[in-house]
Every structure is written in C-alpha cells, then in structure tokens.
C-alpha cells in the first residue's frame, strides 16, 4: 500500500463516528430460554393506525382491545396527540405483556385498552440513555456495541424488546442515519442484538438519570 492510500484509510477510520461500534458483532448476545418478568414503561410505535392487544402471546389469540397511534384516523389536526404509554410486565417469544395503558398526554385523550394483554415485541419503544450494549445483562460482560458519545436513542432504531433482567433490556436494533449526525457508512448500517440499561420510559423528555456509562 502506498503512503497516499495509507493516509486516506487512516483518515477514514479516524473520522467515522461509529467505527468499531460493532467490532464484536460476531458474538451473540445471551438470550434467556424462557419468559422473563419486566418492570419497565414505554410507548407505542406510530407506524401503523392502531396496535392490537391480544389475550395471549400468539397471533391467533383473541383481540381484547387496541392502542391508538398518532397515525390513526379521525385525528383533529388542531390538537396535539402523543404516543400511548403503558407498563411492560413480561416478555415471551416475540410478545410483550402490558397493562395500564394511558393517553393522558394528548390534548384530547383517546379510548385505550387499559387491561392486561399482549402486543408484538416491535410495537413498543423505549428510550435508552446509554451508548453501550453488552453480551449479557452485566456491565462486565463483552461489549457488543459502543456508540461513544451518542446515546442509543439518537443513533439506533429499536426493532423489538426481546427479554428483561432487572434494570436491563435485551433489544433488537438497527443502526440508522440521523440528519443531526454525521451519516453512517453502508457497512455500519447493521442490525444487532444486545443488552442495554439506562432505560427511560418517557418519549417527551429524558429521564435525567445518572449516566450508566461512567
């Protein structure tokens, strides 16, 4: 390799904001073998008109209710609508058991199903105020993702909640571009799975918690 090409390569590595962010992508995150109990709050995704809530963790289970989204029909354009919030109590086989749904933040609260029920794992969003994802729910385990100065919520699209363990969530994620940040190289736009802490259940504000990355 000539000197000019070597300098170009070094410059690329230095400037890339997520270089080595997935250096350990070949290591699989530990996934619990069965259902896990959860104690988190979150909110609905808004890429569909409504989210079905089912009686069991299955696509064939009876629909017992639904949660509205900001893409639903009949919304008054003069009013502000927010994502419905709820508590997560269990994760199982790609499904999440929730309860206590609320639309109290919206100018005109919509009817929501408030009882217990199951939604798909990809229908829940949480904020993650951390840059680091681990192989296990242990900060001493192998680090699978490190976004350096960026929080996960700023750089990554959450694709699903897989499992819970105390203050930790096992998440499926996808690296994404953000107009406020330097664009990602194609090689860095990857999907992954890792354990994260620093979970915030508020969509509108950060939870103002002490950094878990220190």
Query: What is the band of 147 on the pLDDT scale with cuts at 50, 70, 90?
Result: confident
Alpha-carbon span 192 to 208, nearest angstrom: 27
Give domain status of residue 83, yes or no: yes
Q: Tell me the residue range of the domain where 42 lies.
A: 36-124
Q: Does 90 lie in the same domain as 49?
A: yes
Residue 135 confidence (pLDDT): 97
Residue 89 has pLDDT above 80, yes or no: yes
Q: Which of 42, 52, 45, 97 is nearest to 71 (CA)?
A: 45
Q: Judge whether 207 lies within some domain.
A: no
211: in domain: no
Task: Give 117-141 pLDDT, tens digit per residue.
Answer: 999 999 999 988 888 999 999 999 9
- Kindly report, residue by residue over 41-79, the tens digit of the pLDDT: 999 999 999 999 999 999 999 999 999 999 988 899 999
Q: What is the pLDDT of residue 113?
A: 97
Question: Do both 50 and 113 map to the same domain?
Answer: yes
Cα separation of 161 and 84, whole Å? 17
117 and 160, same domain (yes or no): no
CA nearest 94: which of 120, 112, 68, 69? 120
In a domain, 68, yes or no: yes
Query: What residues contact 118, with CB distance under 8 A and at least 6 apart?
Result: 53, 54, 55, 56, 57, 58, 61, 95, 96, 97, 98
Q: Looking at the predicted structure, is the pLDDT value of residue 7 above 90?
A: no
If one counts the domains in the chain, the total is 2
Q: At which of 124, 155, 180 does a domain end?
A: 124
Looking up residue 46, the CATH number of its domain turns out to be: 2.30.30.40
Q: Is the pLDDT of residue 196 over 60?
A: yes
Same domain, 63 and 29: no
pLDDT at 150 over 90: no
Q: Is residue 213 part of a domain?
A: no
Last residue of a domain, one of 68, 99, 124: 124
Residues 40, 29: one domain?
A: no
Say if residue 206's pLDDT is above 60.
yes
Identify whether the C-beta of residue 17 lies closer than 8 Å to the C-beta of residue 175: no
More confidently predicted of 118 and 207:
118
For residue 83, the model assigns a pLDDT of 95
Residue 186: its pLDDT value, please? 54
Residue 40 lies in a domain: yes
Residue 105's Cβ-side half-sphere holds a number of Cα atoms within 13 Å equal to 16
76 plus 111 within the same structural domain: yes
Q: Residues 92, 136: one domain? A: no
In a domain, 160, yes or no: yes
Same domain as 196, residue 136: yes
Q: Is residue 210 part of a domain?
A: no
How confident is the model at residue 5, as a pLDDT? 37
Considering the domain architecture, whether residues 152 and 100 belong to the same structural domain is answered as no
pLDDT value, residue 53 = 98
Model pTM?
A: 0.82
End-of-domain residue from the set 62, 96, 124? 124
User: Rounded to whole angstroms, how far apart are CA atoms 133 and 169?
Assistant: 10
**Percentage of the chain modeled with pLDDT above 90:** 61
């Amino acid at each position: 390799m000539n000197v000019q090409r070597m300098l170009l390569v070094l410059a690329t590595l230095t400037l890339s904001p997520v270089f080595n962010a997935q250096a350990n992508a070949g290591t699989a995150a530990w996934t619990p073998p069965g259902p896990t109990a959860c104690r988190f709050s979150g909110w609905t995704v808004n890429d569909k008109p409504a989210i079905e809530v089912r009686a069991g963790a299955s696509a064939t289970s009876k629909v017992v209710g639904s949660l509205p989204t900001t893409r639903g029909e009949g919304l008054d354009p003069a009013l502000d609508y927010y994502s419905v919030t709820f508590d997560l109590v269990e994760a199982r086989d790609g499904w999440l058991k929730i309860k206590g749904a609320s639309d109290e933040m919206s100018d005109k609260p919509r009817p929501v199903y408030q009882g217990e029920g199951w939604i798909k794992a990809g229908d829940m969003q949480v904020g993650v105020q951390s840059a680091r994802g681990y192989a296990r729910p242990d900060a001493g385990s192998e680090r699978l993702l490190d976004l350096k100065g960026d929080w996960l919520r700023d750089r990554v699209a959450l694709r699903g909640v897989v499992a819970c363990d105390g203050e930790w969530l096992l998440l499926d994620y996808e690296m994404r571009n953000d107009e406020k940040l330097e664009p990602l190289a194609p090689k860095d736009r990857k999907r992954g799975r890792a354990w994260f802490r620093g979970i915030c259940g508020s969509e509108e504000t950060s939870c103002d918690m002490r950094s878990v990355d220190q």
